[in-house]
Amino acid sequence: MLDRSFAEKISQCPLCESGSDSSHIHPSQDRKVECLRCGHFFVEGLLAASGHYGPDKHLLGGYTREQWESLGKCVDLADSNLEQILAQCPRTPKEQAEKLLLAIQRRTQSFGTPVELNWDKDYPLAYARDKRGLNALIDYLNERGFIKPVGGNAERNLVQITVSGCEAIESRILSPPLTVFISSTCYDLLDLRAELADFLESTGFIVKVSDDPYRIHVEPTEDSIQTCLRNVDTADMVVCVLDQRYGPLLPPSKEVSATHAEIRHARELKRPIYIFMRDKALSDYDRLRKDEKAKTLWVERDDQGKRMKWLAFAKELQEFAAAQTQGYSNWVDPFRDSVQLKKLVLKRLGEYQRRWLSERVSK
C-alpha cells in the first residue's frame, strides 16, 4: 500500500507535471492519477516517484488521455509495458494530426457542431509536447481542409469538422492501415500465430496468416501455396518467425517448405521482412554453424534431413553478402516467448510505419 510520503513525491502529474490545480494523486493502494491533461491512469510506485518516463513522456500523456477519453480506460503505466505503449504512439505530424482529428470527432455531437479546445489542457489530444504543438497541428488540419475555425475568434479555440474531414476519418487517408503477413510453421506455432495476429489487429494492422480462413484471401483456382504467395503479394510487410521446425517440403519438387518459399517470394517482391528467432533455436543455430553434425537440443532433433534444411534456411536469412548486394535486412531479433515476441514485433512494425508515413508526408 502506498503511504503519504510517496504521494508527496508525486504531488504533480508525472507525465505533464501539472500541480494540484490540474491533477490529483490518490495516496492509496490504487496508485491512481487524475489529471485534466493526461486523463486518469495508474502508476507504478517506484517508476512514478523517480520520474523515469524518459523524453517521450508527452506521448504517454497523449496515450493515457486518449484511452481515458475514448474508452474510459485507466492505463497502468509500469516498467514492463512502457516500450509496448510507446511503440503504438504517433510520432509524425500526419499521425498526430489524425489523432487530433479523431478527438475532435469524438466531441462533435452532430455534423456542424463547433468543438471547443482548451489550449492549455487539450494538447495531449494531439500527442503534442505543449500548446504550441497543438496550435501547429490545428494549422495543419485547417490547411488540409479537414477542419475550420468557427466565428473568427482570436484564440481559434472553436473548430468544426468539414466534409473533407469526415471523409478523411472514414477512409483513413491520413494513416491507412498496413497489412502484415505472418510467415512461420503452423502446427507447432498455432497458438503463437493466433495470439500475435490478434495482438497486431488490436493495434491497427491488417493481418494475414495462412492457417486462418478469416485472415487470408482464397482464390478457388489456386492451390494452397499459390494462395499463400498471393497473400504475400498484397502484404505491405512480412513477419518471419523461425522456431524448432522447418516444415513439410512442398510438392512436386520437395525442395523447400512453405515458410521458406514465402520468404523467398517476399524478397523477390522487395517486401520488408522482419525476422524473429526463438532463443533456443538461435542457440542451436550457433552450434550447427560450427558443426553441422552436432546434436541439437531444440531444432529438428529427430530428422537430420530437416535439420540441414532448417540450417540452410537460417543461413539464407542471415547471409550478410546477399543482404548487402540485394538491399534487404538480415537482422534477426531473438525472442523468449510470445509475450516478448509481441513487443518486439510491434516495435519493428511501428518503426517501419512511422518511416513509411514520413515518406508519404514528404511527397
Q: In the chain, what are the domains?
A: 4-87 (no CATH), 93-171 (1.10.10.10), 179-362 (3.40.50.10140)
Banded model confidence at residue 88, pLDDT cuts 50, 70, 90: confident
Whether the per-residue pLDDT at 262 is higher than 90: the answer is yes
CB atoms within 10 A of CB 152: 7
Higher pLDDT among residues 100 and 8, named by residue: 100
Q: Is the pLDDT of residue 153 over 60?
A: no
DSSP one-letter code for 295: P
- pLDDT over 70 at 19, yes or no: no
The DSSP H or E segment spanning 101 is helix 93-107
Cell, residue 193: 500465430
* Residue in 23, 19, 25 with CA at minimum distance from that of residue 6: 25
Of the listed ranges 1-5, 238-242, 301-305, 312-316, the least confidently predicted one is 1-5
The grid cell for 76 is 497502468
Cβ–Cβ < 8 Å for 159, 147: yes
- 228-233: average pLDDT: 87
Encode pLDDT of 207-228 as tens digits. 999 877 777 766 665 567 787 8
> Are the C-beta atoms of residues 122 and 130 closer than 8 Å to each other?
no
Band of pLDDT at residue 2, cut at 50, 70 and 90: very low
Share of the chain above pLDDT 90, in %: 49
- Provide the phi-psi class of 96: left if phi over 0, else alpha when psi is between -120 and 50, else beta: alpha
Q: List % helix, strand, coil for the chain (3-state, nearest 5).
A: 50, 15, 40
| 158-161: strand order across its sheet | 115-116, 158-161, 147-149
